[in-house]
Structure 1
Amino acid sequence: MTDLAVAGMEQRIPFDPYAYDFHEDPYPTYARLRADAPVYYNEAQDFWALARHGDVRSAFRDAVNLSNAWGVSMDPSSYGPDAHKSMSFLAMDDPKHMRIRKLVSKGFTPRRVNDLSERITALTDAHWEKCLEKGEFDYVADFAGLLPMDVVSELLGVPESDRAFLRRQSDLLLHREEGVLDIPEAAVYAYIELHKYYTALIAERRDNLGDDLVSALITAEIDDDETGEKTSLSEDEIVGFMVLMVVAGNETTTKLLANALYWAWRHPAELAKVISDVDLVPDWTEETLRYDNSTQMVLRRVAADVTYGDHTIPAGQRVLLLVGSANRDEDVFDDAASYQIGRDCSQALMSFGMGTHFCLGAHLARLEANIGLAAVARSITSVDIDIDNAVRVHSVNVRGFAELPVKVTVR
């Protein structure tokens, strides 16, 4: 990279997406990037990053020049033309992306999600009642980590006896050891285990079709735009989507539930709002999505030269869209650095992306969070977090807690 305007940016503003210190609190770094290097280049790791809301928004909408086809992760082993094998249509461009999305949407319908509402409530009540009986517990292990996996498993028809195993593999897929700048061996084996499990599940379901999502994916058909003939999902495409569901449909919601409780605890006046008025819980969800979203950044590959600010980013380069930074942009959100349940940020929220790749599971994530957090709000008068023993997840893309010891006072 010869552009003098970008030379040495990483020395002036250190930004390493793999650094544990960054994972602990990325927001000071984001603030410096927005102010001093909104279009950032890291020469050592050879990536660009967009920090301001307007640029992130534009990048999400530009599916022509900014490609998903090599995946959305910085990890070298998962970045390349085969990324779709583990990331499904998240790592595809149109028309391949739209074909898979249409087929998946045949099974993953709003009606199917809404029909889960009563079941989500029942699962929430079962897990949360056990927590309340204990009084002191790990909010992630005993609640936030159980509910989303149960919901995804209910959709896919996964037996209860297998869910703990799938959650362990999901955790291993995300975790990164400090100083390791690629997919660790444990994550590779976790992917293999998930692939084997879901391949067997699909085979079993082909012989015993039901009303679950896997059966719907097996039988889904659409008309091919080019040939006019019917097209369906291959087995690898179904497995890819199921693995994506475990990560995108499970881990991110787990982090959302825990981040919400953590920030409400950090801001007692905000916690008091939802405890006194449970109708404000959806606002609690939305402000957490803005203030400390589970998904902090996603990657794009430059398909054709693009210009942001004073910088032209050449084709072939990698660009991080800093979702966490965009959601804290002071030019878009008043008093952006404060946690305020009840603010209206719906039109500006970047947490689920925008455009062609807007998150297919956004409605389900909100539904789970709203039901789960409502159970919390209506049942307690206070919460205390043992922050000295809390453990954060260390991942390039996802931010949240692996362990969150809490003590609650029941109403």
Structure 2
Amino acid sequence: MTVHAGDHELVLDPYNYDFHEDPYPYYKRLRDEAPLYRNEELGFWALSRHADVHQGFRNSTTLSNRFGVSLDPAARGPHASKTMSFLAMDDPAHLRLRTLVSKGFTPRRIRELEPRVTEIAHQHLDVMVERAADGVVDYVNEFAGKLPMDVISELMGVPEPDRDQVRAWADGVMHRDEGVTDVPAAAVEASINLIVYYQEMVAERREKPTDDLTTALLEAEIDGDRLTDDEVLGFMFLMVIAGNETTTKLLANAAFWGHKNPDQLTPVYADLSLVPAWVEETLRYDTSSQILARTVAGELTLYDTTIPDGDILLLLPGSGHRDERVFENPDDYVIGREIGPKLLSFGSGAHFCLGAHLARMEARVALTELFKRIKGFDVDEANSVRVHSSSVRGFAHLPMTLEVA
């Protein structure tokens, strides 16, 4: 049975299509009526208020990551770290791996990548703008869905001729058809192909080091401790899952909400230094990463309720960002509003997103270069297609027409 947000009974079902279309009325009721919510049928608890989500992110002892951060049965369990690396670990294992990876994945490496990100953006924009001359283009297919994975390939050192194939596999890993909640065979096959490809790449770098991130990860060392090949592979896979899809969604969400709020976008065309503020408000208003799971370790008491050891607790950053206890007029899309450390999109505490600066740089470059080319755009809302996912929010297709500058 589907219960709508306005109906009497309050139900949070992360697999429900009505919820995917617009989760925000559900979130508001949760914050007001059930700040600690229990879903018996699906077997989880959920926190929806900003302060609780923030606190939840920071409590990495009682709220464990070691079974992964997804509600989906196939992605949950002690094997989660094989594909989610240190995101699916607790300290001290998490700290060791993250510290080693950080030696290769440095802010400086990201800074030095920016000119190449700009070039990759130009390559895809050239094609998109040319196709736009004939009418409607799919912004996700042509641009938002291509750039992030190509940037990861650039960072890792995937040769250019292989990048389309690697991107196709990455898409296959994430793709779910309507109504499919578990991992389909095609996604398993794509995962295996990707892992085999990366294994060969790691073996090549062991033989012949280059100046890419893959080599840097193999060479990272602390007091004689190094990453194993499997650990390097796990991190490469994390980049595909956590770094690719979320950035694609961010780029499309920015375009969509900009289109819906043209008054907010007009100043951005005139002053491209406002693009980072546009990115931040998009991250707040409609974040890619809506729902993250934790597993209670020990015992946790919240709102006079004791949550038993081993239970799943969902953190809802998408809800926290619309909490009027923290943001003024949270349901208004206001580019340039004060957000700062109140943003929950990249988490907080020990698991704060290692790729936050990469995502922000990519989004800034992508949207800046887009706006150098166009004077306006119009989204075909009727033919836009949302992604159906229990954790991320965004578009599979965003058809639009462009007014070329």
Q: TM-score, normalised by structure 1?
A: 0.93
Percent of aligned pairs with the same amino acid = 55
Equivalent residue for 1:227?
Answer: none
User: Could you list the per-position Cα deviations for residues 128-181 of structure 1 after superposition, in whole angstroms to 9, with x for gaps in the alignment?
Assistant: 132222223111111111211111011111122222222222223223344444
Equivalent residue for 1:239?
Answer: 233
Letter in 1 for 2:125: W
Equivalent residue for 1:393?
Answer: 387
Partners of 1:18 and 1:178 within 8 A in 2: no
Which 10-residue stretch deviates more, 94-103 or 138-147?
Answer: 138-147
Deviation at 1:26, TM superposition (A): 1.1
Secondary structure at the counterpart of residue 340 of structure 2: coil
1:71 has 2:68 as partner: yes
Structure 2 counterpart of 1:126, from 104, 123, 131: 123
Letter in 1 for 2:35: P
Structure 1 counterpart of 2:363, from 356, 361, 369: 369
Equivalent residue for 1:345?
Answer: 339
Partners of 1:20 and 1:178 within 8 A in 2: no
Equivalent residue for 1:284?
Answer: 278
1:293 has 2:287 as partner: yes
Deviation at 1:107, TM superposition (A): 0.7
Secondary structure at the counterpart of residue 341 of structure 2: coil
Equivalent residue for 2:187?
Answer: 187
Give distance in 2, aligned partners of 1:163 and 1:97: 30
Equivalence map 1:303-318=2 (5 Å): 303-318=297-312
Equivalent residue for 2:14?
Answer: 17
| Consecutive unaligned residues in structure 1, runs of 5 or more | 1-9, 224-229
Letter in 2 for 1:98: L
Secondary structure at the counterpart of residue 360 of structure 1: coil
User: Could you list the per-position Cα deviations for residues 210-238 of structure 1 after superposition, in whole angstroms to 9, with x for gaps in the alignment?
Assistant: 00000111111112xxxxxx111111111
Letter in 1 for 2:37: Y
Give distance in 1, aligned partners of 2:164 and 2:25: 36
Equivalent residue for 2:143?
Answer: 143
Equivalent residue for 1:196?
Answer: 196
**How large is the RMSD of aligned CA atoms in angstroms?**
1.4
Give distance in 1, aligned partners of 2:106 and 2:141: 29
Equivalent residue for 1:96?
Answer: 93
Equivalent residue for 1:214?
Answer: 214
Give distance in 2, aligned partners of 1:65 and 1:349: 22
Give distance in 2, aligned partners of 1:390 and 1:23: 13
Equivalent residue for 2:29?
Answer: 32
Partners of 2:53 and 2:317 within 8 A in 1: yes
Name the CA shift for 1:218/1:168 in 2 (closer, same or farther; >3 Å): same
Q: How many residues align?
A: 396
Deviation at 1:122, TM superposition (A): 1.5
| Consecutive unaligned residues in structure 2, runs of 5 or more | 1-6
Secondary structure at the counterpart of residue 381 of structure 1: strand
Give distance in 2, aligned partners of 1:11 and 1:99: 48
Secondary structure at the counterpart of residue 342 of structure 2: coil
Partners of 2:137 and 2:400 within 8 A in 1: yes
